[in-house]
C-alpha cells in the first residue's frame, strides 16, 4: 500500500476493493504462492465437503425411506438399520474432520495474508519462506479469538432461537406472532453481520497487535465505530459472493448429472477458482479495513515500528504493543 496513513481513512467501498486489487497485484508472485499452499486446499476442502456430504446424506435418506417399507423385526430391517448406523457414523466423522481441516487452513491463511499485507504496508521485503515461518507463531492467537467468537455466536444464536420460540408461544400462532418473528429475524441478521465484522477485524488485531481473544474483539468493536456502514456493505458483498458460489456449485456440479461429466468438471473448476479468489480477496480486504479503521480513529501504526515487530529473522515473532508502537495521534 503506497498511501500515507492519514489517507486510508478516506477509503470508501470502491476504494477498499481497488486497494485490495493493487495490493495483490503489487506482490502477485507471493500471493500466488500463498494461494497454492493454503487457500487452494481450503477451497478444495470446502467444495469437496459439499459433494461428499450430499453423497452420504442421499444414501441415508434412501435407506430411511426403504426402512418405512420393511417389516418390523425382519432381517431386512436389521440390515438397513446397521447400514444407517454406519452411514450416520461416517457422516458425523466426515463433518468433524471437515470442520477441523477448514479451521486449520482458515487460520493459517489468515495469518499468512495479514502478515503479508502488513509487510507491504511497511515496504518491508518479504518472501514466501518468511511468511510460512511466521504462520505457526501466530495461528494459536487466532485460535483463541476464533473460540471466543464461537462461544459468542453460540450464545447469540441460542438467545435468538429462544426469543422467536417464546414469541410464538406467548402470542400464539397468528399473524401478530409472525410479524414479531420477522422483526426478530431481521434484527438477528443485522446482529450476525455485526458480529462477523468484529470477528474478522479481531483476527487482524490478533496477528498484528498484542491483543487477542475477547480483548481483540473489544478493540475491534471500538475500531469499527464510524465505519460500520462501509464495512457492513463490504462484508455483505463478500458473503453474498460466497453464497452464490455455494449455490452454483450445488446446482451445476452436485445436482447437475444431466449436464454430463465434462460440463460438471468444467463448472467445478470454475467455482473452485472463484472461491479461491474470493477467499484471498476477503482476507486482503479485512486487513485493509483494519488499517482504514485505525487511520479513521487517528491511531495509524508507525510503519518503522510495525516493520520492527514483523521482523522474524533474528528471533521469535513479537506482536505489536498497543501503546509502544502507534503513531502519536494525528489530526487532519
Residues 199/145, Cβ–Cβ less than 8 Å: yes
* pLDDT averaged per 10 residues in sequence order, the chain, 332 residues: 69 89 89 94 94 89 82 79 88 92 92 88 81 82 92 93 87 81 91 92 89 91 90 91 93 80 89 95 93 82 60 48 44 38
Q: Which of 327, 313, 322, 310 is nearest to 114 (CA)?
A: 310
Q: What is the DSSP letter of 321?
A: P
Q: What is the pLDDT of residue 1?
A: 62
Q: How far apart are CA 157 and CA 163, in angstroms?
A: 10
Q: What is the pLDDT of residue 76?
A: 81
Q: What is the DSSP letter of 9?
A: G
Q: What is the pTM of this model?
A: 0.85
Q: What is the pLDDT of residue 303?
A: 63
Q: CB 207: neighbour CB atoms within 10 A? A: 30
One DSSP character per residue, 59-73 reads: HHHHHHHHHTTS-TT
Q: How far apart are CA 125 and CA 19, in angstroms?
A: 19
One DSSP character per residue, 269-312 reads: HHHHHHHHHHHHHHHHHHHHHHHHHHHHTT-PBPHHHHHHHH--
Amino acid at each position: 500500500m503506497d498511501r500515507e496513513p492519514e489517507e486510508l481513512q478516506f477509503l470508501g467501498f470502491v476504494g477498499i476493493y481497488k486497494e485490495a486489487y493493487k495490493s495483490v497485484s503489487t506482490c502477485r508472485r507471493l500471493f500466488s504462492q500463498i494461494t497454492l499452499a493454503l487457500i487452494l486446499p481450503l477451497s478444495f476442502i470446502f467444495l469437496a465437503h459439499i459433494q461428499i456430504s450430499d453423497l452420504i446424506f442421499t444414501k441415508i435418506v434412501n435407506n430411511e425411506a426403504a426402512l418405512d417399507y420393511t417389516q418390523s423385526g425382519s432381517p431386512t430391517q436389521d440390515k438397513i438399520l446397521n447400514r444407517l448406523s454406519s452411514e450416520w457414523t461416517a457422516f458425523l466423522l466426515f463433518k468433524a474432520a471437515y470442520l477441523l481441516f477448514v479451521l486449520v487452513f482458515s487460520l493459517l491463511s489468515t495469518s499468512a495474508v495479514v502478515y503479508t499485507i502488513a509487510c507491504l504496508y511497511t515496504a518491508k521485503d518479504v518472501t514466501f519462506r518468511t511468511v510460512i515461518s511466521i504462520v505457526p507463531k501466530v495461528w494459536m492467537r487466532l485460535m483463541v479469538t476464533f473460540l471466543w467468537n464461537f462461544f459468542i455466536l453460540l450464545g447469540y444464536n441460542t438467545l435468538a432461537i429462544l426469543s422467536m420460540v417464546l414469541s410464538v408461544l406467548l402470542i400464539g400462532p397468528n399473524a401478530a406472532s409472525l410479524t414479531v418473528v420477522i422483526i426478530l429475524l431481521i434484527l438477528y441478521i443485522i446482529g450476525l453481520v455485526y458480529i462477523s465484522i468484529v470477528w474478522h477485524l479481531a483476527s487482524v488485531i490478533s496477528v498484528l497487535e498484542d491483543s487477542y481473544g475477547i480483548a481483540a474483539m473489544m478493540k475491534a468493536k471500538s475500531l469499527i465505530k464510524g465505519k460500520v456502514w462501509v464495512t457492513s456493505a463490504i462484508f455483505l458483498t463478500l458473503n453474498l459472493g460466497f453464497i452464490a458460489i455455494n449455490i452454483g456449485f450445488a446446482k451445476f456440479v452436485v445436482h447437475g448429472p444431466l449436464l454430463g461429466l465434462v460440463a460438471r468438471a468444467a463448472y467445478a473448476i470454475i467455482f473452485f477458482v472463484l472461491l479461491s479468489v474470493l477467499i484471498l480477496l476477503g482476507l486482503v480486504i479485512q486487513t485493509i479495513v483494519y488499517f482504514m479503521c485505525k487511520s479513521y480513529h487517528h491511531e495509524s501504526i508507525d510503519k518503522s515500528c510495525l516493520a520492527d515487530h514483523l521482523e522474524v529473522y533474528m528471533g521469535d515473532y513479537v506482536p505489536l504493543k498497543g501503546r509502544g508502537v502507534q503513531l502519536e495521534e494525528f489530526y487532519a
